[in-house]
Structure 1
Amino acid sequence: MSLRLDVVLLSGRGASLEVDASSTIDALKQRAQRELGVAPGTLVTSAGVEVKGQATLAAAGLQHGDLLSLHTKRVQVASSRTGGFSAILGDGSVACWVSRSCEDCSAVQEQLHSVQQIQASDCAFAAICSDGRVVTWGNPAYGGDSSAVQEQLQNVTHVQASARAFAALRGDGRVVTWGPWRWGGDSSAVKEQLQDVQQIQSSRGAFAAILTDGSVVTWGSSAGGGDSSNVRMQLQDVRWIRASYAAFAAGLGDGSVVTWGIWGLGGDSSRVQEGLQDVQEVQASHSAFAAILGNGSVVTWGDIYAGGDCSDVQEQLQDVRRIQASFRAFAAILGDGSVVTWGRALQGGDSSAVQEQLHSVQQVQASDSAFAAIRSDGRVVTWGDSSFGGDSSVAQEQLRDVVHVQASERAFAALLGDGRVVTWGHPDSGGDSRAVQEQLRDVQQLQAMSSAFLAVCATGGILTWGKLSIE
């Protein structure tokens, strides 16, 4: 008996196939992949059930006229702080969910094929295709228009973004930039120095590139760390760079750290320079840095009201494994699973109200002014400003078997082990998901922007909630 089955990709492109009911699922999948010209993937029924193997179509319960989805790879989602979301679908095409302030990708849709990665500024996106091309969209004032440098955007391997500009690293080690100059979109002043670049990092308004020889080249707003001339001679054998809002911290091969940028936002580490030895990792809040040393202790600098001073909890900061930052506070997970916090109390720097619950902690996530900790038993503990998700009491009974938490500016979303999602915090930031709750089933991943969330379901469905329309 012959069956007609419709197989579609997540982009909507599909093929109608006439097959024998005695054919196997694997044979159907291989034929669909050939017809659609895509890489191997998985077949999913309209009910969200994956079908595979040597079972016949009849045995799998497939009937004439059934619709199946072909997922060729995991959906990759990029979020822009205020612009929305863009997702690389299983077939390498792109779908967008953007705010009113950000143009969608419809004007460049035909160019968006075989996309490998997407990077986002605050309100624009840049996609790298498999052939090294770059395609951009979004608000032109945020880097959404790359037409002035399009011919140079060839053989691109990586793209980095500041708040309103982009920097693309090419395979030949050169860098191409675009967007407003005051946000790092013009690198012409250092063009000759930008050769043999290995990595690029960004603050809100500037970029820093690590060259093959371990030196660093910076450009963009001098108020954002774009001028490193005062420390240029110290920037040798640089291995990594981290950034706060307007400052940079570079880790050297000998374990020391060099900083520059706005001194009050972490650009001046002279007060603790002697202690910055054997640095293993650095985390940044808006205007301060926290470094984990090889012995598990912590050194902080920057705005003392944003976590730059941890003296009150210094003795507790031993055997530190990981650090998370909100806008003006830090939370450190210790080796025994307990948590130590410091910084502005109302923004998560004071966890005393829930301290007894902070044990066996596996990970911590932060909104702008609150924290959420996942324990090994799958429960969640929150603290900080209640209007930013610091109070999860309304959802606490549902917060069981939590495997991951994502945060927007003022809300949280927790993914449970059974694929359901629980939200709390400010409704305008995605803290209220009731409008899509019935559809939030078999969720595989969550992503967030400042005021909304996006969920990718096992069926290939993609849902958003919160406030995508930025007024």
Structure 2
Amino acid sequence: MEGVELVVHVALPSGKRATLAVSEMSTVGDLKHLAQKAFLQGFLRLVTSSGQVLMDTGASLQSAGIQTGDQLIAVAQAPKVAATHGSFALWLYGGDKVITWGNRDWGFRRIPTPDQLRNVEHVVATNAAFAALLADGSVVAWGNPHQGGNSSTVKDRLIGVQQLQATVGAFAAVTFDGSVVTWGAAHLGGDSTQVQGQLTNVRQIHASQAAFAAILADGSVVTWGDPQRGGDSSEVQCRLRNVKDIYASDVAFAAILADGSVVTWGHAGYGGDCSEVQDQLRDVQRIQATKFAFAAVLTDGSIVTWGDPERGADTSAVQSRLGRVRQIQSTHTAFAAILSDGSVATWGFNFPDGGGDSSAVQDQLRGVRQIQATGAAFAAILDNGSVVTWGDPAFGGDSSEVQDQLKEVQQIHAAQRAFVAVLADGSIVTWGDPKNGGDSSAVQDQIAQL
């Protein structure tokens, strides 16, 4: 029995409208998909005239109180993406589903059942596991149990979680009372027992490859994990006051203080020692890192680098161009900076192909809006919504096979060896290593129904 036909009026915030006919036996999801087709736009959320958000896509229209003649607003949502070493997870904020694809050995296994994932707000990833933060403050983890995919030992403590962070093999959660819960590989930050007494009033947590750094409410910092990769900040502890933000390479941390200066620790040769440029590190706004070097953007848009000169710390080849930097992105060994005129400057290690040489596509890099990076390749979104890639083809540096699909691109995300682009119509395009996230064909139907 199909039931009575309902006529529902749906409008976008822009004013564009559509009148949809649907059976009263249909679900909220059915109506949403009709709206998405009518507006040629994916990832919509329906809101009633009274302000009620129709979250449960499985609910019938009848149970949701939808009647013929009702006026609904369709609000576009930007999908969220997280990535392990070789797999992706895509979800909508507040939704009840996380779609994953890629290499099963890198987090694409032991996926939670739908009833476990309700109102997903955020997802973070280690190298081989995911952890989802739900609206009720609980956490669901899956993937390799040795790298954070099993949170059963701390499940009772994962209450009122406000923030999640991850190293390559462990997770850290900040709870509502400012305490911290960790799990996963102990040597990669999963064991915080030695500093647990210091982890009070935690404001935020940052991570290197194998260590965590927590900023407390008083601006001080507590670290744990591999001492060779940033887990030991004892040598600079007295200087870690009024810390505003922290950034990390694989093996070192860099903290921006309230006065715009920088304090570093970790592997000295790979960014843990900034003494040679310390006097230049004033009015620092933000920092980006390769695996082995840091690049700081100052208030005036200039750049200061330190760490391994072969892997990003040497800007001599492009120094004359680095005047007004808008954004910086990095592969493992190279940097790419978007300049104020929308062009791009790249530098760093480029053998066999780390992305440091963009000469082959330099004439295409005009009007660049955003840059994303895998381990050895870059992808740039231009103002017209097209994409330019360069770097190692095995890491996504060659997008020629999908270039005709890369139109009206809104955002790009990256795993270690693959990219995923989200288009304006809600579809996604992937490329790079097909075994490690570059092939999303198996989940395209699921994404269309999200």
TM-score by length of 1: 0.76
1:370 aligns with 2:374: no
For the residues of structure 1 that align with 2:101 and 2:435, how far apart are their CA atoms? 16
Distance in 1 (alpha carbons) for counterparts of 2:248 and 2:171: 16
2:447 is equivalent to residue 456 of structure 1:
yes
Where does residue 384 of structure 1 map in the other structure? 391
Give the Å deviation of 1:95: 5.2
Q: List per-residue Cα deviations over 1:303-360 (Å, max 9, x = no partner).
A: 1111011122222210111111111100111111111111013311122233233222
State the match for 1:85 in structure 2: 89
Q: 1:67 to 1:220 in 2, by over 3 A?
A: same
Q: Return the match for 1:148 from 153, 176, 179.
A: 153
Tell me: CA distance 1:397–1:113, structure 2 relative to 1, closer, same or farther (3 Å): closer
Question: Aligned pair in 2 of structure 1 residues 300, 175: CA closer, same or farther (>3 Å)?
Answer: same
Q: What do the CA deviations read for 1:218-272 (whole angstroms, capped 9, x no partner)?
A: 0011022000001001100000001111111100000011111111221111111
Tell me how far 1:386 sits from its aligned partner: 3.5
CA contact (8 A) 1:121 1:142 kept: yes
For structure 1, the residue ranges without an aligned partner over 5 or more in a row are 5-17, 55-65, 441-454, 461-471
Number of corresponding residues: 412
Amino acid at match of 2:365: L
Q: Is the 8 A contact 2:102 2:439 kept in 1?
A: no
1:244 is matched with which residue?
A: 249
Q: For 1:128, which of 133, 158, 165 is the aligned residue?
A: 133
CA contact (8 A) 1:183 1:206 kept: yes
Q: From 265, 281, 284, give the equivalent of 1:260.
A: 265
The one of 27, 32, 41 aligned to 1:43: 32
After TM superposition, give the deviation of residue 392 of structure 1 in Å: 4.0
Matching residue of 2:182: 177
How far, CA to CA, are the matches of 2:33 and 2:375 in structure 1? 38
Whether the 8 Å CA contact 1:324–1:332 is kept in 2: the answer is yes
The aligned counterpart of 1:139 is 144
The question of whether the paired residues in 2 share the 8 Å contact of 1:92 and 1:116 is answered with no
How many Å apart are 1:176 and its aligned residue? Answer: 1.1
Give the aligned partner of residue 450 of structure 1: none
Is the contact made by 1:388 and 1:411 (CA closer than 8 Å) also made in structure 2? yes
Secondary structure of 1:295's counterpart equals: coil
- Pick one of 195, 203, 206 that aligns with 1:190: 195
C-alpha distance after superposition, 1:195-221 (max 9, x if no partner): 110000011111000001100000011
1:354 aligned residue: 361
The worse-fitting range, judged by mean Cα deviation, of 142-151 and 153-162 is 142-151
Measured in 1, the distance between the counterparts of 2:431 and 2:95 equals: 34
**1:201 paired to 2:206:** yes
Matches within 5 A, 1:202-351: 202-345=207-350, 346-351=353-358
Change in Cα spacing, 1:410 to 1:80, as seen in structure 2 (3 Å) is: closer
CA contact 2:88–2:437 (8 Å) conserved in 1: no
Give me the CA root mean square deviation.
Answer: 3.9
CA positional deviation for 1:191? 1.1
Give the partner amino acid of 1:456.
Answer: I
* Residue matched to 2:14: none
Partner secondary structure for residue 231 of structure 1: helix
Residue equivalent to 2:71: none
Rounded Cα–Cα distance in structure 2 between residues aligned with 1:261 and 1:46: 52
Give CA-to-partner distance per residue, 1:99-138, whole Å, 9 cap, x none.
Answer: 4334745666544334333222222222333332223222
CA distance in 2, matches of 1:117, 1:361: 28
Q: Find the residue that maps to 1:353 and give its secondary structure.
A: coil
1:305 is paired with a residue whose SS is: helix
- In structure 2, give the amino acid aligned to 1:45: L
For residue 5 of structure 2, what is the aligned residue in structure 1?
A: 21
Secondary structure of residue in 1 paired with 2:163: strand
Structure 1 residues 387 and 32 mapped into 2: Cα distance closer, same or farther (>3 Å)? same
Q: Give how far 1:370 is off.
A: 2.0
CA distance in 1, matches of 2:81, 2:117: 15
Q: Aligned equivalents of 1:357 and 1:129: distance in 2?
A: 42
In 2, Cα distance between equivalents of 1:234 and 1:283 = 21
Q: TM-score, normalised on structure 2?
A: 0.79
State whether residues 282 and 289 of structure 1, in contact with CA within 8 Å, keep that contact through their aligned partners in structure 2: yes
- Deviation per CA, 1:162-210, whole angstroms, max 9, x where unpaired? 1111111111111111122101111111111111100000111110000
For 2:430 and 2:116, how far apart are their aligned partners in 1?
36
